[in-house]
């Protein structure tokens, strides 16, 4: 039996000899000069223009993820650039490959946790009980609760209250943000440890308020951090540190062999 040929279709964009259309809008005349990068990212993903409130929250969320200092992803990008300065894109890609369940990618885990916790619940569900049950389930499985804790920012990640305030100011604080806050409080109570809601936990909750599928939430970190890594590579090209890091690490790591 002959295989039925599937229809190949995309609703995102198409081009002709003299036009480029993205999500139904003319790129040169309806988008360029009318949308900032964050608003265009939202438009590209959702196929509709962000409201002013959505724009403020979405842009704040992306900006938060652009930069966080000399992180492992920034180091990898710089070291890769030192070895292959002809491949800026390779250096950026190398840095992005390290965004996962420890760095940046915890947005995905937090969003998935919140969606699952509130699945099939009524709007008047007892969020405090759901928070207790969620924390208890993670503790029973001996799993780290995504979006909680930070090696540096304690007792509060300074980005988190600001993000939640921006969401609230723009009418976007709902059950997911509230539940994330309750989970954070319950996790601290149950563990006796300082476990601040970190920026990725806050962003995971905000993504749920937007209704973004949890499967793409990590992508926001990839989008944003790519900008930050280009900045690190530009600095590396002017005031390099990668070779010094390499030589210091090699010396320190092998010191015991020379004794």
**What's the pLDDT tens digit per position in 127-150?**
999 999 999 999 999 999 999 998
Given pLDDT bands bounded at 50, 70 and 90, which one contains residue 1? low
The answer to whether the bond into 155 is cis (omega within 30° of 0) is yes
* Domains, the chain, with CATH or none: 1-49 (no CATH), 106-212 (1.10.230.10)
Helix residue ranges, H only, 152-213: 159-169, 175-191, 199-210
Output the average pLDDT for the chain.
93
Are 189 and 156 in contact, with CB atoms under 8 Å apart? no
Q: Is the pLDDT of residue 201 over 90?
A: yes
pLDDT score recorded for residue 105: 73
Check residue 124 and give its pLDDT. 87
Residues 100-117 have pLDDT tens digits of 877 777 899 999 999 999
Q: Residue written as tokens 């930069």?
A: 67
Is the predicted pLDDT of residue 2 greater than 70, yes or no?
no
Is residue 201 within 8 A of residue 145, CB to CB? The reply is no
Handedness of CA 157, 146, 221, 71 (dihedral sign): positive
pLDDT at 81: 96
Residues 6+ apart with CB under 8 A from 167: 57, 173, 177, 206, 209
Distance CA 105, CA 108 (A): 6
pTM for this model (two decimals): 0.91
pLDDT beyond 90 at 153: no
Average pLDDT over residues 159-165: 97
Question: Percent of the chain scored above 70 by pLDDT?
Answer: 99
Tell me what pLDDT residue 259 has.
Answer: 67
Q: Which residues contact 6 (CB under 8 A, 6 or more apart)?
A: none
pLDDT, position 119: 94
Residue 104's pLDDT is what? 76
**What is the pLDDT at residue 163?**
98
The arithmetic mean of pLDDT across residues 186-213, rounded, is 96
Q: How high is the pLDDT of residue 254?
A: 81
pLDDT in tens, 225-247: 999 999 999 999 999 999 999 98
Q: Which of the four pLDDT bands, split at 50, 70 and 90, describes residue 4?
A: confident
Q: Indicate if the pLDDT at residue 255 is higher than 90.
A: no
pLDDT in tens, 74-96: 999 999 999 999 999 999 999 99
Given pLDDT bands bounded at 50, 70 and 90, which one contains residue 198? very high
Measured CA to CA, the distance from residue 206 to residue 176 in angstroms comes to: 7
pLDDT at 91: 97
């Amino acid at each position: 039996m002959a295989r039925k040929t599937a229809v190949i279709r995309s609703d995102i964009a198409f081009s002709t000899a003299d036009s480029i259309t993205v999500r139904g809008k003319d790129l040169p005349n309806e988008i360029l000069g009318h949308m900032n990068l964050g608003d265009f990212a939202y438009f590209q993903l959702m196929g509709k223009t962000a409201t002013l409130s959505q724009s403020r929250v979405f842009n704040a969320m992306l900006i938060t993820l652009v930069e966080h200092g000399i992180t492992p992803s920034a180091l990898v990008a710089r070291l890769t650039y030192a070895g292959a300065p002809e491949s800026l894109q390779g250096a950026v890609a190398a840095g992005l490959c390290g965004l996962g369940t420890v760095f940046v990618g915890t947005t995905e885990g937090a969003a998935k946790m919140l969606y699952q916790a509130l699945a099939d619940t009524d709007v008047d569900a007892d969020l405090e009980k759901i928070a207790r049950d969620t924390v208890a389930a993670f503790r029973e499985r001996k799993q780290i609760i995504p979006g909680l804790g930070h090696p540096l920012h304690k007792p509060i990640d300074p980005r988190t209250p600001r993000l939640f305030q921006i969401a609230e100011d723009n009418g976007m604080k709902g059950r997911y943000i509230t539940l994330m806050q309750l989970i954070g409080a319950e996790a601290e109570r149950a563990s006796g440890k300082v476990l601040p809601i970190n920026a990725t936990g806050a962003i995971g909750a905000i993504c749920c308020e937007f209704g973004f599928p949890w499967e793409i939430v990590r992508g926001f970190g990839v989008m944003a951090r790519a900008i930050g890594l280009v900045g690190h590579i530009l600095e590396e090209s002017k005031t390099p540190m990668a070779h010094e890091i390499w030589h210091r690490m090699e010396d320190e790591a092998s010191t015991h062999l020379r004794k």
